[in-house]
Amino acid sequence: MSENRTQQARTSLAAWQAHKPTDYLQADTNIQRVLQMHMGEDYSRHRGMLDKAASLSATRMDGLAITSNRDENLPLLSRFNGIGERTEEVVFHPSYHELGACVWDTGVLAVLEQPGHELLSGALSYFIAHNGEAGHACPVACTAGLIKLLQQVGSNEQKKKYLPQLFDTDYTKRLHGAQFVTEVQGGSDVGANSCIAVADKKHKGLYRISGEKWFCSVIDAGLFVLAARPERAPPGTQGLALFLIPRMVDGKVNDFSIRRLKYKLGTRSMASAEVDFNGALAEPVGPMDQGFKNLMGIVLDTSRLQNAVAACGLMRRACIEAQGYAEHRAAFGKPIIEYPTVAQIFARMKVITSAAVATTFRLLAMSDRIAAGKASADMTGARRTHVNINKYWTSIQCTRVVRDAIEVLGGNGTIEEFSVLPRLYRDAIVLESWEGTHNTLCAQILRDFATRKLHRPWLAELSDVLALIKHPSLATHGSRGKQLLDDLTTRIEKLLASDADYAGLHIRGVVDRMCLLNSYLSLLLELDWELGQNIESDKGLIIDLYTCLFLDPGDPMDNPGLYVLIQGISATS
């Protein structure tokens, strides 16, 4: 009898493995509708690219990511060749490069050649990120930031020199980028950076960079974006300029040395390092007195949006793993998904993931409208705040969702060879710290509100979203949204009228409310569109549970409809 039960258990696990999707787009009805809503007629035109990325990610990329992330296959530093010449080479396992070829072949970066394809590139990144960072999501994000930097402020010569290779889909020919900002004494205090740029005496217009960078991800990149302080420049952030540093000059290492690779918690197959620059040849990119502005407004802005896209991909993969397992794993005579406690966890995971996708893809679509010249200056200001709060919220919720998925799998969820979840969890925690910690983002939002009055366009943009939610069945939600918006407006005004210590103490709580309202309205906007298209979905149930979980929690024991709500959401994929 026990042998039969053992075999049944293994048969169930094998069925779970066999049940996993082979195309993440086909398996994700929600993302199909979100993309249709935002892309309109372009969705059909882009469908081939989306299907290719989604199927590659679910099959070949998945296996390669597992292999390249094994402890014995992580990158190694090889600083010298056999005759003692300095190479500063990072050696990767072959599976890493095979995976990179798949990623670049999706066209995730090539589509950025034409402005207005942020949404398409983000959708491709979303599917790629179902495998976590996988060693390549960060290089894609850094390269995207470099592309936009060159497009917006690069010289014609720089564009001609670098952009063709940055857009190349051939992994063996591609040029990929990195961004080095952090220094050991600075961290988020970028104004404390001390790397120095000295004008080169032999090459007019070029500089020599000297100093230490403490956290250099994508250290194998062919082109670095680096923040440094020119001689006689003022202190603080206003004295920083941005430079491009090619890895190699005339076939030799460009006067930098790698101290060591970082031994990280997550994103382990992507090489990060500590680096000393010893007079590396560099060229300024953009006006030198606008370095910090371009760093924040272009480079980090891009990475923060990419960070949110990655978080969405991780969350969706966690949902796939947890739901499939719970539907096939039996305990005490029935699948564990039928137990209310498990169904409740999965329903919460799905609600949070849906909310993250709603805010992130609405932001991607907003970016495209701005790039196409179809948006006002106010929308540009609103977008800046959206990028920062969305990076904050999605990264926090990503860790929570992956942790919930591990709980559904129980002890099996902690085993590296059993599922992807342990790696996703490590990557999720890294996503929380990359591109600005939570406190750094909250401080920036407060500073933007106090000095640039950016709360005004942000609040106005949400008011505009409320006006778009017109379906009669959503009238009650619309009224609730208006109440929440009015309350948040009052709180922000109180914050800005208070002293610095009071504002600093309460900004994070206000940002939390901003995130919740943004998610709520973004979900309502999607439901309004679906109703207008006569599409039946569980989006209404998701919004109802979102309200119960985040907006009007109350006492769940006093909510007689909660069980039916949870069952309805957990029954769909």
Closest by alpha carbon to 571, among 544, 534, 541, 533? 541
Q: What is the DSSP string of 43-111?
A: HHHHHHHHHHHHHHHHTHHHHHHHHHTSGGGS-EEEEE-TTS-EEEEEE--HHHHHHHHHHHHTTTTGG
Chain-centre distance for alpha carbon 506: 26
Q: What is the pLDDT of residue 4?
A: 85
Q: What is the pLDDT of residue 188?
A: 82
The values of phi and psi at residue 312, to 5°, are -60, -45
Strands 256-261 and 196-199, bridge-based pairing: unpaired
Alpha helices in 213-339 (DSSP H): 291-294, 301-328
CA-based R_g, the chain, Å: 24
Q: What is the pLDDT of residue 3?
A: 62
Helix H or strand E encompassing 228: strand 223-230
- CA dist 68 and 99 (Å) reads 8
- CA dist 21 and 514 (Å) reads 35
Q: List pLDDT tens digits, range 66-106.
A: 999 999 999 999 999 999 999 999 999 999 999 999 999 99
pTM of the model: 0.97
CA angle 375, 302, 438 (to 5 degrees): 110
- Other beta carbons within 10 angstroms of residue 210's beta carbon come to 18
* Top-tier CATH class for 175-290: mainly beta
- Other beta carbons within 10 angstroms of residue 463's beta carbon come to 15
In tens digits, the chain (573 residues) has pLDDT values of: 456 889 988 999 999 999 999 999 999 999 999 999 999 999 999 999 999 999 999 999 999 999 999 999 999 999 999 999 999 999 999 999 999 999 999 999 999 999 899 999 999 999 999 999 999 999 999 999 999 999 999 999 999 999 999 999 999 999 999 999 999 987 788 888 999 999 999 999 999 999 999 999 999 999 999 999 999 999 999 999 999 999 999 999 999 999 999 999 999 999 999 999 999 999 999 999 999 999 999 999 999 999 999 999 999 999 999 999 999 999 999 999 999 999 999 999 999 999 999 999 999 999 999 999 988 889 999 999 999 999 999 999 999 999 999 999 999 999 999 999 999 999 999 999 998 999 999 999 999 999 999 999 999 999 999 999 999 999 999 999 999 999 999 999 999 999 999 999 999 999 999 999 999 999 999 999 999 999 999 999 999 999 999 999 999 999 999 999 999 999 888
442 burial type by CB count under 10 A (0-12 exposed, 13-18 middle, 19+ buried): buried
List beta partners, residue 177.
223
Q: List pLDDT tens digits, range 305-361.
A: 999 999 999 999 999 999 999 999 999 999 999 999 999 999 999 999 999 999 999
Domain with CATH 2.40.110.20 in the chain: 175-290
Q: What is the pLDDT of residue 2?
A: 57
Distance of CA 478 to CAs 359, 361, 521, 524, 553, Å?
17, 21, 9, 8, 18
